[in-house]
């Protein structure tokens, strides 16, 4: 149906709906107020004990700007998809216990005004804007002062005094009861497909984001693995040097010696070290390269397995369109895959809910004792490093690339922090930096008291001294638990 032909878009039809509601519902008490982002459900007391209470559904969401009344509740999957906020946290809950005094609509605009009176006699006006891409819901006092709105910057017309309700003849050419019945039939029939499309779009977007990340990681690790074989060449040089060790003099920068097969081998040395010290360094580099290759190969296998999992999940998601209740099926699928895809809107006991206000910084707990704080942006990095961290906390940052500032809380005793805990914090620093798709990332660490902010530098810039470095794989290592909701998923620094 064309949007312009919808009854909520035509002032004459909206006037008829207002007249029907005013005649049937005015004078009733609001016994419950429910809803979530961009929508409200007002439950009004029944006119008599044997009759069911009336419910008014008001929606101001993209693709679903509508209003209707119906004693039947919405299907549970629909309220889950719309998002549900507990009544005590719902700003419009101040209508609870108020009496609906009048319902009206202007003759030249698509706005419904629901005029309430609270127990103290104060007037509250709920205006439902039914024009625009997503409409709006605005609650105002009798002076036109906005108390709450579903979306920012409400239209001035929604804060105007409501017109007097039509108590005589209905608008010309309209039947109020027929228009109310049309809205009651049309609203759910249009809302269901919108919610289903939104649910599938959100699930596919989340899966595509994880699939793309796994693909990028596999590509980077494949490239890293191709260059990690340099460790064999270093070991070959070390073994050749070991054969001729007593014939090499200190101070040589480059030597060319025959290897075990008699082939010439060119070896670069540090002239400040003895031949034995150069030998130890070469073997150490070879061992580190071998360990790095093993780790990269393991991570590559994990990334390839994740790619296959994403392909399987895409096939599974596509098949949900044929389920008996596709909306309930895709919501259950999305909730079950939250650890992999990220939770999106929080789902608690089957109800979607806006995420709670985040704690400052990302926070992780290492080995059930050591707390790690990570800045989410340049402003938080500055505040974390130069205000929140104690002088004797450990400060970490990925070397040579942009990334988050990381603080490992030491409780005034940095020397007691185990080396493995430092490595786990360094892996988090590697995870929240631009090089997080590499196999190994160098991370510098020092005490926070050795970190300063250069004069006139932009936010997030810091300089440090007395630093040491660790070469670690990016990721959340065993024993590391996120303390903030949502920080277990893909990083978005």
Residues 103 and 21: beta-carbon distance below 8 Å:
yes
Q: What is residue 227's predicted lDDT score, i.e. its pLDDT? A: 64
What is the average per-residue pLDDT within 374-384? 92
Residues 229 and 293: beta-carbon distance below 8 Å:
yes
- How does 106-136 read in b/e, with b if 16+ C-beta sit within 10 Å? beebbbbbbbbeeeeeebbbbbbbbbeeebb
Crossing angle of helices 176-227 and 275-319, rounded to 10° = 150
Domain boundaries, the chain: 3-192, 197-353, 362-482
pLDDT tens column, 162-173? 998 865 445 555
Task: Say whether 361 sits in a helix, a strand or coil.
Answer: coil
Q: What is residue 183's predicted lDDT score, i.e. its pLDDT? A: 95
Structure token digits, residue 23: 């005649």
- By CB atoms closer than 10 A (0-12, 13-18, 19+), residue 16 is buried
pLDDT tens column, 125-142? 999 999 999 999 999 998
Residues 133 and 3: beta-carbon distance below 8 Å:
no
Structure token digits, residue 115: 């005029």
Highest mean pLDDT among 157-161, 289-293, 340-344, 353-357: 157-161
pLDDT at 285 over 90: no
Q: What is residue 308's predicted lDDT score, i.e. its pLDDT? A: 94
Confidence of residue 359 (pLDDT cuts 50, 70, 90): low
CA end-to-end span of the chain: 43
Task: Say whether 401 sits in a helix, a strand or coil.
Answer: coil
Structure token digits, residue 270: 């540090």
Count of CB atoms situated within 10 Å of the CB of 442:
16
Structure token digits, residue 430: 């590697």
Q: What is residue 349's predicted lDDT score, i.e. its pLDDT? A: 41
Q: DSSP string spanning 405-462?
A: -EEE--TT-GGGS-HHHHHHHHHHHHHTBTTTTSS-EEEEEEEGGGEEPPTTPPTT--
- How does 449-482 read in b/e, with b if 16+ C-beta sit within 10 Å? bebeeeeeeeebebebeebeebbbbbbbbeebeb
Q: DSSP string spanning 285-338?
A: HHHHHHHHHHHHHHHHHHHHHHHHHHHHHHHHHHHGGGSSSHHHHHHHHHHHTH
Which residue, 33, 174, 45, is CA-closest to 94?
Answer: 33
Structure token digits, residue 22: 């005013």
Alpha helices in 58-174 (DSSP H): 76-82
Q: What is the C-alpha separation between 99 and 82, in angstroms, rounded?
A: 26
Q: What is residue 4's predicted lDDT score, i.e. its pLDDT? A: 67
> Beta partners for 407?
373, 395
Between these two residues, 1 and 157, which has the higher pLDDT value? 157
Q: What is the C-alpha separation between 369 and 374, in angstroms, rounded?
A: 16
Residues 283 and 231: beta-carbon distance below 8 Å:
no
pTM of the model: 0.62
Q: DSSP string spanning 9-26?
A: G-HHHHHHHHHHHHHHHT
User: 124: part of which helix (H) or strand (E)?
Assistant: strand 123-129
Structure token digits, residue 196: 């289903």
Residue 105 φ/ψ, nearest 5 degrees:
-150, 140
Task: Say whether 78 sits in a helix, a strand or coil.
Answer: helix
Between these two residues, 487 and 433, which has the higher pLDDT value? 433
Q: What is the C-alpha separation between 131 and 109, in angstroms, rounded?
A: 8
Task: Please tell me the least confidently modeled range out of 44-53, 337-346, 380-389.
Answer: 337-346
What is the average per-residue pLDDT within 262-275? 92
Which residue, 330, 344, 333, is CA-closest to 196?
Answer: 330
Q: What is residue 489's predicted lDDT score, i.e. its pLDDT? A: 46
Q: What is residue 229's predicted lDDT score, i.e. its pLDDT? A: 57
Task: Please tell me the least confidently modeled range out of 40-44, 261-265, 292-296.
Answer: 292-296
Residue 51 φ/ψ, nearest 5 degrees:
-90, 150
Q: What is residue 492's predicted lDDT score, i.e. its pLDDT? A: 41
Reduced DSSP (H G I as helix, E B as strand, rest coil) percent helix, strand, coil of the chain, to 5: 40, 25, 35
Residues 84 and 33: beta-carbon distance below 8 Å:
no
Please name the fold of domain 3-192: ibrinogen binding protein from staphylococcus aureus fold (2.30.310)
Please state, for a pLDDT cut of 90, what percent of the chain lies above it.
Answer: 63
pLDDT tens column, 74-125? 999 999 999 988 887 888 889 999 999 999 999 889 999 999 999 989 999 9
């Amino acid at each position: 149906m064309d949007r312009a032909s919808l009854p909520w878009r035509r002032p004459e039809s909206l006037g008829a709906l207002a007249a029907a509601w005013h005649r049937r519902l005015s004078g009733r008490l609001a016994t419950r107020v429910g809803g979530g982002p961009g929508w409200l459900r007002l439950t009004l007391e029944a006119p008599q004990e044997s009759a069911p209470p009336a419910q008014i559904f008001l929606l101001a969401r993209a693709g679903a700007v509508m209003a209707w009344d119906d004693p039947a509740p919405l299907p549970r999957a629909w309220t889950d998809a719309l998002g549900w906020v507990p009544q005590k946290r719902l700003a419009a809950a101040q209508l609870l216990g108020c009496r609906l005094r009048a319902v009206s609509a202007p003759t030249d605009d698509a706005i419904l005004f629901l005029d309430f009176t609270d127990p103290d006699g104060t007037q509250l006006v709920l205006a439902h804007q039914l024009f625009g891409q997503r409409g709006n819901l605005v609650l105002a006092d009798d002076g036109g002062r906005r108390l709450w709105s579903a979306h920012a910057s409400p239209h001035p017309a929604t804060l105007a005094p409501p017109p007097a309700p039509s108590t005589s003849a209905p608008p010309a050419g309209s039947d109020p009861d027929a228009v109310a019945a049309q809205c009651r039939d049309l609203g759910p029939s249009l809302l269901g497909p919108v919610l289903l499309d939104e649910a599938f779009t959100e699930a596919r977007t989340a899966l595509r984001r994880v699939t793309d990340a796994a693909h990028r990681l596999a590509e980077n690790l494949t490239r890293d693995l191709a260059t990690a074989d340099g460790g064999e060449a270093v070991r070959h040089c070390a073994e050749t040097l070991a054969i001729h060790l007593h014939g090499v003099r200190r101070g040589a920068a480059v030597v060319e010696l025959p290897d075990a097969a008699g082939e010439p081998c060119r070896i670069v040395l540090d002239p400040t070290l003895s031949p034995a010290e150069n030998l130890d360094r070469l073997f150490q580099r070879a061992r580190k390269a071998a360990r790095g290759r093993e780790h990269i190969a393991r991570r590559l296998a994990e990334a390839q397995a994740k790619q296959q999992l994403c392909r399987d999940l895409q096939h599974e998601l596509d098949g949900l369109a044929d389920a008996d209740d596709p909306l309930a099926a895709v919501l259950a699928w999305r909730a079950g895959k939250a650890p992999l895809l990220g939770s999106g809107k929080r789902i608690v006991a089957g109800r979607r809910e806006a995420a709670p206000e985040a704690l400052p910084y990302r926070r992780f707990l290492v080995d059930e004792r050591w707390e790690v704080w990570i800045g989410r942006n340049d402003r938080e990095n500055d505040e974390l490093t130069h205000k929140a961290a104690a002088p004797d906390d450990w400060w970490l940052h990925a070397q040579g690339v942009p990334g988050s500032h990381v603080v490992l809380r030491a409780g005034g005793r940095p020397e007691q922090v185990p080396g493995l805990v430092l490595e786990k914090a360094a892996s988090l620093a590697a995870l929240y930096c631009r090089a997080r798709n590499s196999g190994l990332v160098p991370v510098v660490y020092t005490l926070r008291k050795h970190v300063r902010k250069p004069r006139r530098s932009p936010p997030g810039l810091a300089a440090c001294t007395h630093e040491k470095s660790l070469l670690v794989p990016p990721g959340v290592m065993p024993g590391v638990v996120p303390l903030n909701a949502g920080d277990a998923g893909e990083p978005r620094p």
